[in-house]
Chain A
Amino acid sequence: MGKYALRSLGRFLALMLAVAVVTFALVSLSPIDPLQANVGQAALLGMSEEKRQQLAQWWGVGVPAHERFLSWGWALLHGDWGISLRYNAPVLDVVASRALNSLALMAVAWVVSGILGFALGLAAALHRGKLLDRVVRGYCFVLASSPTFWVGLLLLMVFSVWLGWFPMGFSVPIGKAAADVTLADALHHMALPAITLSVVGVANIALHTRAKAIDVLSSPYVRFARARGQSPAYILRVHGLRNLALPALTLQFASIAEIFGGSVLVEEVFSYPGLGQAAVTAGLGGDVALLAAIALVSAALVFGGNLVANLLYGAIDPRMRLRGRGAQTPSAQGEDAR
C-alpha cells in the first residue's frame, strides 16, 4: 500500500511538473506583450522611456525562459501564486473562493448525472428493444451531440425567461448583502447550472451501463438464475449491481475532466462565479498568473478523480486488491463510449 502511495505521489508530481512546463511554454508563446497587458495601453504611452525600462525589468522582459520558469515554479512552491490582473487579488485567494463555488456545482452534477445515468442504463437494458430503451438511447445520442452551452441556453430561456422559476444567473441574489445570503438562495441559483451539467453528463454513463448490463443479462449465470424462476430485476440487483457499479464508477471518476470542461461553459452561460468563468476571464484578459493556476488546479482535480477511481477499484472488486497494482484506468473510455 505504501509503495502504491509513493508511486501515485511520484506520478502526481511528474504530471504537475509537466503541466506547469506545458502551461508556461504556451503562455510564453503568446504574442501578448506582458508590459502592455499589465500596465495598460494608455498608461504605457504616457510613460517615460526610463519608467518603461524599469517596468520591463520588473515583468522579466528579456530574461531567458528557463530562468523565468524556475523563478515562477519556486514562487509557486512557496505559496506565492502571483497577483491576478483581472481580479486584483492574490491568485490563491481567487482560486480558493471560486473553487468552492465550482466544486459545489460539479459535485452535485457529478452525483446526479452518475445516479441518473446508471439508473437509466439499467432500465434501458432491462427493457431492451422496447419503447423505454429507445427513448433512453435516443435521448443519449441527441444529448451526446449537443453542445453543453446550447443546452444551458435553452434551459435558461425556458425556466428563467419564460417560466421565471430560476434566476437568470450569478450565485447569489443581486443587491443582497453577502451576510444575508441564505443557503436556499445559493441552492436556488445553483440549480439550473447543475441541472444543465447533469442532463448533459447522463448520456455517457447511461449508454455504457446499458451495454454492460446487456452483457451481464446474456451471461450463463443469469440464464441459470432465470431458469430458477427469478425475475430479471431481482437478478440484476443480486448478481449484476456489483459488476456494473465498478465500470460505471470508474467511468464517472474518469469523466471529471469532461465535467470540468462542461462547468467552464455552463458557468459562462449562467454568469456563475466559478473557476471556469475565471479561466475564461483570465484567458480573454491576459491574466497569465490566474490562467496558469487554474490549469494546474484542474489537472490536479482530474488526477485526483483517476486516483480515487483506482482506489475504489480495489474496494469494490476483491480481485484487484490481490493484484495490488490496478494503476490502469480506462480513462479513454469516456471518449470512446460515444
Chain B
Amino acid sequence: MSGILASCPSGEKRATQELAAAPLLSAPANRRVTGRRAVLVGCIVAAVALVAVVIAGILVGPDASRTDFAAKNLAPCLAHPFGTDWMGRDMLLRTLAGLSTSILVGVAAAAASSLIAAALAAVAALGGRRADGVVNWLVDLCMGIPHIVLLILISYALGKGFWGVTIGVALTHWPSLTRVLRAEILQCRESDFVKAAFMLGESRLAVAWRHMVPYVLPQFIVGLVLLFPHAVLHEAAVTFLGFGLPPEMPAIGIILSEAMGYLSAGAWWLAVFPGLALVAVVMAFDAVGSGLRRVVDPMSAQE
C-alpha cells in the first residue's frame, strides 16, 4: 500500500527513501512496531510526568504558601527559578501545588463527565427511538449554551468554591463524548459479530459484556483522557474569573488572576511561568490521549 502511495504526487520523499533502503516486504512491519513502541513510550513518559507533578505538588503544599517578606518580588534567579510574588512566596512551589490541584480537579471532573457520557450514550443507542431523541436533545441543549456561561451558572448555583467548579466541569463536558460513544455503540450493535452472537442464542447481557464492552471501552478510555485537557483548562478559566477554587487554595487560575494586578509593575514572571506550566500539563494529557488513540484505533494501526 505504501509503495503505491509513495509514487503519488503528494507522497513523501522520506517513505520512498526508506523503502529503497530496506527490503521492501519487511519495511512496513518494522516501521509499525517501532512507531507503536515510540507512541507507547511517549504516553508512559507523559503519564509519569503528570503523576510526578501531582505528588510533588502535594508534598510541597505546606511550603508553597509560606511567606518570606525578605524575599518578595524577586525576579527569577537560582534560588527561586520562577521568582517570588509580593508576599515572598516561591512561585515554583506555588505553581507545582497549583498544578497538582488543577490536575486532581480535572481528573475527578473528567471521570465523572465520561461516566455520564457513557450512561447517556448507552441509553441513547439501546433505549429505543424516544430515548435517543431525548438524549440528543439534551446534548443540543448543553451545547447550545456557551460552556463558560453554563459553568458560571452552575458554580453560582452551588455557591462557588471547589465543588462548584468540579461539578460544573463534570456536568458540562459530556456532550461530545456522548455523541462519539453513541455512534460507536450503534455501529457495534449493527455489526455482524453481534448479530451472529444473538443467532447463537447468547443472552443480551452476555453480548453486552463479551462483545460490546470490549468494542467500546478503548474509545471510552481515550475519550476520558482527552476530556482532561478541556476540564483542566475550563477549571483554570472559571477559577481565573473568580467562580472556582477559593483564593487560599493553590491554583493556576488564582495565581494568574492575582498576577494581573502586578503586570503593569513589570512582574512578568508571575504570569509567564505558571501559564507555561499549565500549557505543558495540558499538552502532556493531550499527548497521552492522542497516543492511546493511535495505539488503540485499528484504523491507524498501520501508521
Interface residues of A (CB under 8 A from B): 15, 18-19, 22-23, 25-27, 29-32, 128-129, 141-142, 144-150, 153-154, 156-157, 161, 168, 214, 217-218, 223, 226, 232, 257-258, 260-261, 264-265, 268-269, 276, 279-280, 283-284, 291, 294-295, 298-299, 302-303, 331-332, 335-336, 338
Contact = CB atoms under 8 A, between A and B. Distances in A.
A331 B179 CA distance: 11
Contacts of A279: 149, 152
Interface string B1-44: 00000001110101000000000000000000000000000000
A27 B263 contact: no
A29 B163 CA distance: 14
The prevalent SS among residues of B at the interface is: helix
A280 B241 contact: yes
A142 B10 CA distance: 27
Contacts, number: 166
Contacts of A27: 153, 156-157
Interface residues of B, number: 53
A283 B145 contact: no
B149 A150 contact: no
Contacts of B176: 332, 335-336
A257 to B, nearest CB: 4
A295 B145 contact: yes
Contact of B271 (A128, A148, A154): A154
A156 B264 CA distance: 9
A265 B283 contact: no
Interface stretch (B69-77, B82-90, B232-240): B232-240
Interface string B143-181: 111111110111111110000000000000001100110
Nearest to A271: B260
A291 B153 contact: yes
A157 B159 CA distance: 33
A217 B11 CA distance: 10
Contact of B8 (A147, A223, A332): A223
Given A147-B236, A157-B263, A332-B179, A268 B140 contact: no
A226 B144 contact: no
Interface of B: 8-10, 12, 14, 139-141, 143-150, 152-159, 175-176, 179-180, 226, 229-230, 233, 236-237, 240-243, 256, 259-260, 263-264, 266, 268, 271-272, 275, 278-279, 282-283, 286
A150 B146 contact: no
A70 to B, nearest CB: 20
A217 B240 CA distance: 43
A303 B144 contact: yes
B141 A22 contact: yes
A26 B256 contact: no
A226 B148 CA distance: 47
B210 to A, nearest CB: 29
Contacts of B153: 22-23, 26-27, 283, 291, 295
Given A141-B286, A154-B271, A32 B159 contact: yes
A280 B152 contact: yes
Given A19-B141, A26-B157, A145 B286 contact: yes
Given A19-B144, A147-B237, A161-B264, 11 more contacts: A29-B158, A145-B229, A145-B282, A156-B263, A257-B147, A264-B149, A269-B260, A276-B148, A279-B152, A283-B153, A338-B230
Most chain B Cβ neighbours within 10 Å, of A145, A218, A268: A145
Contact of A26 (B12, B154, B175, B180): B154
A19 B10 contact: no
Nearest to B285: A145
A338 B228 CA distance: 12
A302 B157 contact: no
A331 to B, nearest CB: 6
B197 to A, nearest CB: 30
A110 B28 CA distance: 43
A223 B9 contact: yes
A331 B153 CA distance: 22
A15 B152 contact: no
